[in-house]
Amino acid sequence: MNTSIKSRLAAGETVIGTWHTVCSTEVAEALASLGFDWIALDMEHGSASVAYAEQAFVVLERHGCAPFVRMPSADPYLARRLLDAGAEGLLVPVVEDAGEFADFAAHCLYPPEGRRGVALERFNRWGDDFEGYLRDFRPVLVPMVETRKGVAAADALAALPMVDALFFGPYDLSADLGAPGDFTTPGFAAALTAIKDACTRHGKAAGGHQVAPDAAELKQRIEDGFRLLAYGTDMIAMRHALADFRDADDR
pLDDT per position as a tens digit, 133-183:
999 999 999 999 999 999 999 999 999 999 999 999 999 999 999 999 999
Burial of 28 per CB tally in 10 Å (0-12, 13-18, 19+): buried
CB atoms under 10 Å from CB of 13, counted, come to: 14
Q: Is 132 helix (H, G, I), strand (E, B) or coil?
A: helix
Alpha-carbon distance 3 to 136, whole Å? 9
Q: Hey, which residues are catalytic here? A: 45
Q: Could you report the per-residue pLDDT of 17-76, keeping only the tens digit for each? A: 999 999 999 999 999 999 999 999 999 999 999 999 999 999 999 999 999 999 999 999
Residue 245's pLDDT is 81
Q: Is 195 helix (H, G, I), strand (E, B) or coil?
A: helix
Angle at CA of residue 84, ends 79 and 87, nearest 5° = 70
Report helix angle 50-62 to 76-85, nearest 10.
40
Cα torsion angle, 199, 204, 209, 210, sign = positive
* CB-based contact 90:141 (threshold 8 Å): yes
Tell me 122's DSSP state. G
Alpha-carbon distance 204 to 161, whole Å? 10
Residue 246 has pLDDT above 80, yes or no: no
* CB-based contact 108:133 (threshold 8 Å): no
Confidence of residue 251 (pLDDT cuts 50, 70, 90): low
Residue 2's pLDDT is 43
Residue 1's pLDDT is 38
For residue 101, the surrounding DSSP H or E stretch is helix 98-106
Backbone φ and ψ of 172, nearest 5°: -65, -40
Torsion of CA 225, 83, 47, 97, to 10 degrees: -50
What the chain holds in terms of domains, given with CATH numbers, is 4-247 (3.20.20.60)
Residue 244 has pLDDT above 50, yes or no: yes
**Global pTM value:** 0.95
Where on the phi/psi map is residue 85: left (φ > 0), alpha (ψ -120 to 50), or beta?
alpha
108-128: average pLDDT: 95
Residue 247 has pLDDT above 80, yes or no: no
Note if the bond before 112 is cis, omega within 30 degrees.
yes
Residue 249's pLDDT is 64
